Amino acid sequence: MRIPAAKRMPPLRVPLARDLPYPVEQVRSITLLCDGGRLFLDVTAEVPIATYPPGEEPDPHRVAGVDLGIIHPFAVAGCDGEGLLVSGRAIRAEHRMHLADTKARRRAVTRRAPKPGEKGSRRWRQYRRRARAVQGRHRRRVRQAQHEAAATVIGWAQQRRAGVLHVGDPRGVLDIPAGRRHNLRLRQWQIGRLLQILTDKATLAGITVRLVDERGTSSTCPTCGRRVPKPRGRTLSCPHCTYSGHRDLVAAATIAARTPGGGPTTTAAPVLPEVVTHRRAGRHLPGAGRSRRDPRRPTMAARGSVGPRRPAPPPGGESLAHPARIHSIHRITR
């Protein structure tokens, strides 16, 4: 890539790891960025809206509801009794392991930190350079996982010809103090970026996105319409009509029946998903493989065993362990 420089200066030539994903006539601007000591090109291009064969284009009368969350970044409920759950386990593990890794690195070099006004040693500058590189890698991993999750939602909506997505706007919870740990989860959630990524991909696919008020969607029974106690887990159970279902899918179905003004679109009950598709965001992350093990996590041998060892049962006799330590004590043998 040849980038012009200042007057009477030779142009800057940047080798690219891969070709540009857009034709040259669609490129509008190119910006050279530096993140974590590495150079990147930010390419802005004019991309046309997707076209569909006759009979396969998104139908504006088919509305799907989208509920945003931390455990499930996207929970979608369609109008045909189908649902989609995108798990964010890998993203949360990436945030947790990055925080633990950052704390460990910081504790290791605390004594070598320079005082205010000092330049710092060579090892300190090396640590700071490495910390910036790790932080940049973490941001890229999370951003890629968010794009994968949004692409999964748009692909699911295209297959079912959903022309409108009603998305619950949860940004009001950011102004409510909920403690140090929960406030950290809310900051790592990045609601605005999720909404922007979903809106951009939906626009390219020819799908309309409308933000609606999601207040009370996770604590309202979709069948009888009464308020229920907020569930601690992922299952919403109504004590009035004995309905039970996944709280995120219930919220998505209720959001699909609401208008941008806040009221319900129709007086009919929301269409609850009966067939649910499960997908996982961030398959490229270290802890999202088949073993679900992050290489940054210490091994069991390094951490040591937790608690006293259980005594082995004698051959041909009963176990000498305490009855509370035997998990199969309540099993019934026939």
Average pLDDT over residues 236-250: 85
**pLDDT tens figures, 176-211:** 887 888 888 888 888 889 999 999 999 999 999 999
pTM (2 decimals)?
0.78
Average pLDDT over residues 137-159: 92
Q: Can you read off the two tokens belonging to residue 207?
A: 């799908």
Among the listed residues 237, 275, 315, the one whose alpha carbon sits nearest the alpha carbon of residue 79: 275
Among the listed residues 48, 46, 42, 80, the one whose alpha carbon sits nearest the alpha carbon of residue 64: 80
**pLDDT tens figures, 151-166:** 999 999 999 999 999 9
Domain ranges of the chain: 1-47, 49-88+150-292
| Phi/psi of residue 151, nearest 5 degrees | -65, -35
Q: Which residue has the higher pLDDT, 174 or 280?
A: 280
The pLDDT of residue 263 is 56
